[in-house]
Amino acid sequence: MKKYWLALVVLITLARCAQQVAPTGGEKDVFPPKLVQTTPENKALNFQGKTIDLLFDEYVIVDNIQQKLTITPETENPYTVKNKGKLIQLNFKNSFKDSTTYTLNFGDAIKDFAERNPAQNLKLVFSTGSTIDSARIYGRVTDLQTGLPVFDAMVGLYLPKDTLTPEKQKPYYFSRTDSSGFYAIENIQSSQRYRLIAIADKNRNQLYNPKEERIAFLDSSINVNTDSTLYNLQLFASDVTVPRIQRTLPKVNSYTVVFNKNIDSVRVQFGRGDSLPYILESASQLKFFNVGTSADTTVALIAAIDSLGQPLEIEQKIAFLPQRGKERQRDPFALRTTPDRNQPLARDFRYTFSFSKPVGTFQPGSIQLISDSTSRQSLSNITWQWNRYRNEINVQARATARDTIRWDIPKGAVISVEGDTLPATLIKHPVLKEDDYGIIRGSVRADSATAFIVQLLDKEYKVRQTTYTSPYTFTRIPPGEYYLRLTVDRNRNRRWDTGVFNKSQQPEPIIYYPDPITVKSNFEYEDLNLTVPSITSD
């Protein structure tokens, strides 16, 4: 009898367990949820409610809807979200503005419950008035420097103000670009003028952060018509942050001043009787070296200028950390060359030696340019010069080597201001063979008064060659893919200058040759011409 009851209990337990297990198998759900019904209906008129319902054909969930749902025009109207199986309900705190067409774009914020497939092209349009606004603008957003499309940039229409500040003011209408850089803003009220601005809105807060985000804008306000209108925009970086010293890094052997942004140029003046060697170690770091000849604290007047011409003048007290132990722990004394070691070098060439520290002792007569076993030239017999910081030497030379050009730098020829010696160094470069390279030629079609910069860029958009004249010729181009870029040099300073929104200043225009250029060995490419539109020929 006991065995009978025990068996019965086991059977009941197993049956209950079986009822709790979800069925398995079947095909995977690959279909997105479909919208069955909305309240209000799409393109409804005279809507006066505060609640919006979306009913789907299957169970759904919401995913970060507060970030992904965009409502245009911009409205400061908080809402809560309720997920009721197949129904998503938005409850707004306030009524919507009268006689206004609203567009709710949900992106991928609503997904099916089982496989998280997002609902496709989920958008709801309604009006609180008697008509639906139908004006529309569209276009592409690209990066000015590269010409590449920009994904997820915010393109906004702003209500014009005397002091429009996109850093603090959100757009009235806005859209975001797709992977091809395309955007469209629809259902716009056409009886109003707007300012059109695009921002690489990294944090998606609809506000412009000049230090980290790129911007593009039209010079004047636009009147959006009932028909579709095309506006293409090119984003550019414009960090208008005032330059300042962000922090300092004192060490025993060095003292580094770190700026809050990149610096274009810097000069340093010391008090009477004081002096320290220094270098601009990177675009944002100024490094002073302790050579043991100054007082405990050295006062330096630092004058720096950023790329927008904004100045910084500050008096900085420089104090090195006290030494512990008998031996100083110095940073390595290193050498870098341009071109890099082992890269092909033409027999007539320009060359740069870059040292990681300022040089104290230098013996150019000891450094040899070797063409073959019998042909040697000392650097003292070659044209060369120091840079301002005495850590870089620019050389112009000619070699007679057949196969390999060598630099022989013996130990003791280069000694840093800290007293450490560059070790014996032998640098080799194969001789560049003209037949292994290509040539590009072309002209710039522009008004005679227009100054410009023509640059050859590799596929990583790194500048390989530059010229300022037309017709132009680029020689000794290694096989590969390249781009041609023309900058309209409006102020003739031989560099690209950015724009500034709050000064209504546009950046200098950049024009790309329409197609990439595939360079082959021993091949010449003729008539690669670039045209400056007359509107930019100032």
Summarised one tens digit per residue, pLDDT across range 327-384 is: 777 889 999 999 999 999 999 999 999 999 999 999 999 999 999 877 899 999 999 9
Tell me the C-alpha distance between 78 and 98, whole Å: 17
Residue 198 has pLDDT above 60, yes or no: yes
**Class of domain 135-235 as given by CATH:** mainly beta
DSSP-based three-state secondary structure for 144: coil
* Residue range 40-99, pLDDT digits in tens: 999 999 999 999 999 999 999 999 998 889 899 988 899 999 999 999 999 999 999 999
Q: What is the pLDDT at residue 537?
A: 39
Q: 135-235 and 245-319: same fold?
A: yes
Residue 7 has pLDDT above 70, yes or no: no
* Residue range 182-195, pLDDT digits in tens: 999 999 988 789 99
Q: What is the pLDDT at residue 295?
A: 64
Q: Which long-range contacts (CB under 8 A, 24 or more apart) does 446-451 make?
A: 446/470, 446/488, 446/531, 446/532, 446/537, 447/532, 447/534, 447/537, 449/537, 450/488, 450/532, 450/536, 450/537, 450/538, 451/488, 451/489, 451/490, 451/492
Q: What is the pLDDT at residue 26?
A: 54
Strands 110-112 and 154-158: unpaired
Tell me the C-alpha distance between 94 and 76, whole Å: 9
What is the second-level CATH architecture of the domain 245-319? Sandwich (2.60)
Tell me the C-alpha distance between 408 and 337, whole Å: 13
**Closest C-alpha to 214, from 164, 265, 148:** 148
Q: Which residues of 454-479 are buried (b: 16+ CB within 10 A; e: fewer)?
A: bbbbeeeeeeebeeeebebebebbee
In the chain, what are the domain boundaries? 35-127, 135-235, 245-319, 335-432, 436-536
Q: Kindly report the CA angle at 123 between 142 and 213, in degrees rounded to 5?
A: 30
How far does CA 411 lie from the centroid of its chain? Answer: 42
Q: What is the pLDDT at residue 18?
A: 43
Amino acid at 402: R
Does 33 sit behind a cis peptide bond, omega within 30 degrees of 0 on the bond before it? Answer: no
Mean per-residue pLDDT over the chain, rounded: 90
pTM as predicted: 0.78
Which listed CATH number (3.10.105.10, 3.40.50.720, 2.60.40.1220, 3.40.50.1980) goes with 335-432?
2.60.40.1220
Do 103 and 132 touch, CB atoms closer than 8 A?
no
Residue 154 bridge partners (DSSP): 176, 199
Residues 6+ apart with CB under 8 A from 178: 151
* Residue range 236-289, pLDDT digits in tens: 999 888 999 999 999 988 999 999 999 999 999 998 778 899 999 999 999 999
Do 491 and 453 touch, CB atoms closer than 8 A?
no
Reading the block at residue 388, the tokens are 């301002």
Q: What is the pLDDT at residue 192?
A: 84
HSE toward the beta carbon, residue 348, CA cutoff 13 A: 1
Q: What is the pLDDT at residue 5?
A: 47
Q: Which phi and psi angles does 503 have, rounded to 5°?
A: -110, 5
Q: Which phi and psi angles does 306 have, rounded to 5°?
A: -90, -175
DSSP-based three-state secondary structure for 450: coil
Q: How far is CA 487 from CA 119, 149, 452, 466, 469, in A?
A: 44, 19, 5, 11, 12
Residue 308 has pLDDT above 90, yes or no: no
Tell me the C-alpha distance between 298 and 317, whole Å: 6
Q: What is the pLDDT at residue 29?
A: 66
Going through 146-235 in order, the beta strands assigned E by DSSP cover 154-158, 173-176, 182-188, 193-199, 215-217, 222-223, 228-230, 233-235
Q: Which phi and psi angles does 125 have, rounded to 5°?
A: -120, 135
N-to-C CA span, the chain:
107
Q: What is the pLDDT at residue 373?
A: 74
pLDDT band at 176 (very low <50, low <70, confident <90, very high): very high
User: What one-character DSSP code corresponds to residue 522?
Assistant: T
What is the second-level CATH architecture of the domain 35-127? Sandwich (2.60)
Tell me the C-alpha distance between 450 and 468, whole Å: 11
Provide the CATH number for the domain formed by 436-536 in this structure: 2.60.40.1120
Q: In this prediction, what percent of the chain has a pLDDT beyond 90?
A: 76
